[in-house]
Structure 1
Amino acid sequence: MSELFKKTNPKRLAACLAVPLALGSVVGKAISKDVKEYSELDKPSFAPPKWAFPVAWTTLYALMGLAKYKALEAADDEQEMAIHKADGLQLSLNFIWSFLFFKFHLRGAALIEMSILLLTILYTAKEYAKVSKTAARLMLPYILWVSFALCLNASVWHKNK
C-alpha cells in the first residue's frame, strides 16, 4: 500500500507537529526583545521583511513535524531511533542559533553553528529518505530556507562587524 494512503496516527501526528511548533514559539518569545534590534542592523538588499520570518518559520516547523511523522510511520524500531536522534539534533541546533544570533549577538559563531545546522538538516533528510521519500522531500523548503538564512547571516555579520 502506498505510504500516501496509510491510516493516520493522530496522536503521533499531533506530537510530531507540536514539538517544533511549541519549542519554536517558546524560543521566539524568549528572544522577542532581541529580535527588535535586528531591524537596526545593516542588512543586505535581499533581506526579507520582518513579517516574513514568523510566517516562514511557522510553515517550516509544521513541515518538519509532518516530515518526521511520515518518516516514523514508515520506520522500523531501529530506524525510529535514528530518526529521533537526527531530528532532535537538528532541532536543538536550530534553536541554539536563535540565541547565538539574536540574544548574544554572536553573529560569527551563529554563522559557524548554522553551517553545522545545515549539514545536520541534510543528514536528517538522508535518514528520512531511507524510509520515506515523501518525508525527505518535505525537508526541502527547510533546507532551502536555511541555505538562504546562512547567506543572510553571513552578510549581516560582515556588514555589522
Structure 2
Amino acid sequence: MDRLDNSYRPGESASRAGSNSFPYTWRSQALGAAVSVLLVLAAAATGSVSASSAASRYDSLTQPDWAPPSWLFGPVWTVLYALIATSAWWLWRARPWGEVRVPIMLYVVQLVLNGLWTPLFFGAEQRGLAFVEIIALTIAVAVTVIAFARHSRTAALLLMPYFAWTVFAASLNLSVWRLNT
C-alpha cells in the first residue's frame, strides 16, 4: 500500500494523520510550498548565473547526433523544476516533519549538486569534472527518490522525470567531453 494513503489530506482530522501537530494549517502549507519553490529557484539561479551564454557555448561544442537543440533546455528545466519543487512540498505535507527530515535533507543535497553542474560545465569549462559531479548528482537524485518513496509514492514519482533527464544529461556530458578533448 502507498504510504500516502495513510497521510494527511485536507479536511481530515489530526488524529487520522497520526500526530497532534499534524495536519499543517493552510498558512504552514503555503509556507512549505514557498520554501520548496525558493530552494529550487536558488539551485536554478546558481546555474543560470554562470550560464548566461550557455546556449551559444553549447551550440559551439562538437555534439553527438542525439544531442537536443539548445532551445529545448529552458522549457525542459522549467517543467522539471516545477516537478522538483512540487515533490518536496508534497512529501513535506504528506507526513509530519520528524518523519521527512532526512529525505528533505537529501533533497537539499541534490539541489546543491544540481546548482553546481552548470558552473562546472559551462562557466569553468571543466567537462570531466562536471561529469564526475553529474554522476554524484544522479546518485543523489536516486537516493532522494528512494527516500521519498518510503513516505510518498506520489512525491517520488514527481522526481522520476528529473532522474531520467539527469541520466540523459550525464550521458550527454560524457559524450560532449569525449568529443571535445
What is the alpha-carbon distance in structure 2 between the residues aligned to residue 3 and residue 14 of structure 1? 25
What is the alpha-carbon distance in structure 2 between the residues aligned to residue 12 and residue 59 of structure 1? 19
- 1:6 is aligned, of 4, 9, 12, to 9
Contact 2:91–2:155 (CA under 8 A) maintained in structure 1? yes
Per the alignment, residue 109 of structure 2 pairs with: 89
Deviation per residue, 1:89-116 (Å, 9 max, x gap): 0000011111110100110111111111
Structure 1: gaps (5+ residues): none
Contact 2:113–2:137 (CA under 8 A) maintained in structure 1? yes
Query: Mean alpha-carbon deviation: is it higher for 105-114 or for 74-83?
Result: 74-83
Residue 44 of structure 1 deviates from its aligned partner by 0.7
Contact 1:34–1:102 (CA under 8 A) maintained in structure 2? yes
Residue 12 of structure 1 deviates from its aligned partner by 1.5
Equivalenced residues, count: 161
What is the alpha-carbon distance in structure 1 between the residues aligned to residue 65 and residue 101 of structure 2? 42
Deviation per residue, 1:54-83 (Å, 9 max, x gap): 111111111000000111112233333212
Per the alignment, residue 141 of structure 2 pairs with: 121
Residue 38 of structure 1 deviates from its aligned partner by 1.6
Residue 3 of structure 1 deviates from its aligned partner by 7.2
SS of 1:42's partner is coil
Structure 2: gaps (5+ residues): 11-25
What's the C-alpha RMSD, in Å, of the aligned pairs?
Answer: 2.0
Identical counterparts, % of pairs: 31
TM-score (norm 2): 0.81
- Rg (Cα) greater in structure: 2
TM-score (norm 1): 0.91
What is the alpha-carbon distance in structure 1 between the residues aligned to residue 59 and residue 140 of structure 2? 29
Q: Does 1:132 align with 2:152?
A: yes
Q: Does 1:70 align with 2:94?
A: no
Per the alignment, residue 104 of structure 1 pairs with: 124
Per the alignment, residue 146 of structure 1 pairs with: 166
Counterparts in 2 of 1:32 and 1:73: CA distance versus 1, 3 Å: same
SS of 1:146's partner is helix
Structure 1 residue runs of 4+, over 3 Å off?
Answer: 1-5
